Structure 1
């Protein structure tokens, strides 16, 4: 797969499905067995499910984002995540004593592409969430119970080096070394939004996230590193409905140490650091600078030729503004087409 939550991070991210290179055939393998093992090694990803309830703003953790995928494959993803603690769709809102919990669901579709001879991917991510709890704002207690759609996301990604476009049959002989990829993700203001409420599931603005990443494999171990920037348009209907709120870009780095256990099972240790995103109301001073670190873990399990499951979790390590929450989730993926 090419280069991101979820989201769904999903949550989040949103955040795509790929084929694991651990099943690449050698000259001594039977072609049919190599192909079948490659099929089994298709992994779950596509949507960072943290984004289903927390938005795609740099906190997504998506291991194995940069890898090759046979062209012509289609992926359907359904996932569930549970978040608790300092949960908020918009971490720049200065809530205090937050005791919130959120249940997120994400639905996604992805298709692998041939982009001028390089492997690429396009995916659509539709997150939903149910959020409830209490918090204080400006010294006043607030309570919120809300459900609905969060902002949809659309992503196009391409591997620029080390991952040529291959059919499923050709992929059996592919082995990864170094892959360099890039992606662009657009989040549209299509989620639930009430300008008279502080906490909403939608953000009422557009955002564009660009990312550049590299993946290097040494036998069963793969190291991934990526840097990204997310840029925002203004929200012209910010609370209580007549203010304009602008937000600075958020810049993030994330890394993943991935290990293949064999039998097409893999796990990873994940981490991200992101900073920026300070906000201004009606041209006033910028406040609520974010500078946060999160760590997590992921485990991927193949179920059959066409099905796989991913389990994941993450927690905040250091938090300057918002997003000090814990998350666990599960996602299921079904793949078809492309010669399966």
Structure 2
């Protein structure tokens, strides 16, 4: 998983499509740029169950640039920009409970987000994001046929950096719960298909902005699919597509009419340098955005060490 995404609220951007201003962008960014307020991205192969007793240590790094801003599918007539550099520390332990493989884990995001060009007035922020606790339970675990199915509950603990007076924040000042399901199957001896879906439920942020407004949000959904081709047993090529939708927000019980509908793609590769060390590199870009910044380029790297 990776990414910090930033959204804008249509109602404060003006009642007419395309009615944008730098000042309104600053106000609206505050609503949902606090942290990674999106569904959970995964890497292809994440739903592979490993033997009980295996431990994983992972470090993620993402660099992303956004160069345009959308409301109701219309591009803002400004030179919008937003750069982010985000890392994640992740620890995973595989065990067996009641005959099922389970992997308790934690994820701790950290990084920096900065407004650019006509949206440089957004400023910047750095620090840690909200702690994420999770555990996948595998209901299907058939390594001989490369078939796996698991369910993962995630809990976001609001300990990240947050200041209600700042437009950009890495913490969200609210609890979040995500339920995700992932399925892997081998199509051929060299080709694998990954399918993942999740829904995220949001608690309230009752300290939004200087006026301490109350932010609420409808459930947010994400569907992801990947194809992997094993060139060798140690090296694969991969491509994926993701679609995120829903997640309209309310401020002091007023609907913001800002449902998300974002489609993005990734291509990449993974390589086992040795049996206990895996390196992943992915490139991605948003294909379409209904509301929010559109990422032009996204580079993701992951180092995994098994012990």
Query: Is 2:61 the counterpart of 1:80?
Result: yes
Distance 1:61 1:179 in 2: 15
Unaligned runs of 5+ in 2: 6-33, 70-74
Residue 109 (structure 1) aligns with = 91
1:59–1:306 distance in 2 versus 1, CA, 3 Å:
closer
Distance 1:162 1:106, change over 3 A: closer
TM-score by length of 1: 0.74
User: Within the alignment, does 1:333 sit opposite 2:286 as a pair?
Assistant: no
Q: Which residue of 2 aligns with 1:190?
A: 159
1:130 is aligned to 2:112: yes
- Number of equivalenced pairs: 271
Instruction: Provide the rounded CA distance (Å) in 1 between the counterparts of 2:238 and 2:249.
Output: 34
3-state SS in 2 of match to 1:324: strand
What secondary structure is seen at the aligned counterpart in 1 of 2:94?
A: strand
1:201, CA displacement in angstroms?
Answer: 1.0
Considering only aligned residues, what root-mean-square deviation do their CA atoms show, in Å? 2.4
Does the Cα contact within 8 Å between 2:246 and 2:261 map onto a contact in 1? yes
Q: Distance in 2 between matches of 1:11 and 1:285?
A: 23
Say which SS state the counterpart of residue 162 (structure 1) adopts: strand
Moved more, 56-65 or 154-163: 56-65
- Alpha-carbon separation, structure 1, partners of 2:82 and 2:200: 25
Determine the structure 2 residue equivalent to 1:268: 238
Q: Which residue of 2 aligns with 1:18?
A: none
Tell me which residue corresponds to 2:138: 159
Whether the 8 Å CA contact 1:255–1:271 is kept in 2: the answer is: yes
1:100 to 75, 82, 102: 82
1:176 Cα deviation (Å)? 2.6
Q: State whether structure 2 residue 39 is matched by structure 1 residue 68.
A: no
Gaps of 5+ in 1: 13-52, 89-93, 164-173
Tell me the TM-score normalized by structure 2. Answer: 0.81
Q: What is the Cα deviation at residue 114 of structure 1?
A: 0.9
Partner of 2:287: 317
> Which residue number corresponds to residue 247 of structure 1?
217
Give secondary structure in 2 for the equivalent of 1:175. Answer: helix
1:177 offset after TM fit, Å? 4.3
> Alignment partner for residue 120 of structure 1, among 98, 102, 106?
102
Does the CA contact (< 8 Å) of 1:316 and 1:323 recur in 2?
no
- Corresponding position: 1:206 with 2:206: no
Cα deviation digits, residues 53-109 of structure 1 (max 9, x gap):
961612624211222211111111122221111599xxxxx9974312111122111
Per mean C-alpha deviation after superposition, the further-off stretch among 94-103 and 66-75 is: 94-103
Over 3 Å counting, the alpha-carbon distance change for 1:323 and 1:161 in structure 2 is farther
Please give the alpha-carbon distance, in whole angstroms, between the structure 1 residues aligned to 2:171 and 2:82. 17
Q: Deviations over 1:10-49 (max 9, x none)?
A: 569xxxxxxxxxxxxxxxxxxxxxxxxxxxxxxxxxxxxx
Alignment match of 1:236 (pick from 206, 212, 224)? 206
C-alpha change, 1:189 and 1:241, in structure 2 (3 Å) is farther
In the TM superposition, what whole-angstrom CA distance separates every residue of 1:106-128 from its partner, at most 9, and x where no partner exists? 21111112132122211111111
Change (3 A) 1:54 1:195: closer
Q: 1:315 to 1:283 in 2, by over 3 A?
A: same
**Shift in Å at residue 147 of structure 1?**
1.0
